[in-house]
Amino acid sequence: MTMQYWLVKQEPDSYPWSAFVADGATSWDGVRNYQARNFLRAMRRGDSVLFYASGDAKEVQGLATVSKAPYPDPSATEGDWVSVELKPKQAPSRPVTLAEMKADGALKDLLLLRHTRLSVVPVTPEQFERILKLAGR
DNA sequence: GCCAACGTTGGC
DNA sequence: GCCAACGTTGGC
């Protein structure tokens, strides 16, 4: 199985990158959107994930790994929802802002930009590499 | 604070 | 099954 790449979005007010790092690993639950759920369900252990902070931050702030394959969302009292466990890997040398990504031609098809309200989106290997490069890696 | 995008709900 | 109303998200 080849490695897949993803981007997850989070409001910095509710769960900042620093809290994620402090936790060491977290159950990524509470997703209540069918499209996002389907992407979560397609995640596999070892996949790479970009951590994007929305709201006031609007930037990719870190890199994470899927540490546990999809399982039923423990926070769901009804319905068929899933979560995965994510582990923070590292913060990039510097964050990559939404404005930068928007201005970058190589990222014009980034789903983050086209489906702004989706909290979990796939990223192509090329887009992933490009974002890491912008992050100074 | 406003507005656009868009998903969901409910009436018909 | 359609569509209007409404709620939520997120960028500006």
Amino acid in position A75: S
Residues 6 or more apart whose CB falls under 8 angstroms from that of A92 comprise A60, A61, A62, A63, A132, A135, A136, A137
- Which residue's structure tokens are 């929305």? A54
pLDDT in tens, A73-116: 998 888 889 999 999 998 888 999 999 999 999 999 999 999 99
The closest nt to A52, taking CA to C1', is C10
Q: Which of A73, A47, A18 is nearest to A8 (CA)?
A: A47
Q: Which residue is nearest to nucleotide B6 (CA to C1')?
A: A117
Q: Which nucleotides of B are covered by protein (CB under 7 A)?
A: 5-8
Answer for A78: CB within 7 Å of strand B: no
pTM for this predicted structure: 0.94
Q: Tell me: pLDDT of A130 over 90.
A: yes
Q: Which nucleotides of C are covered by protein (CB under 7 A)?
A: 8-12
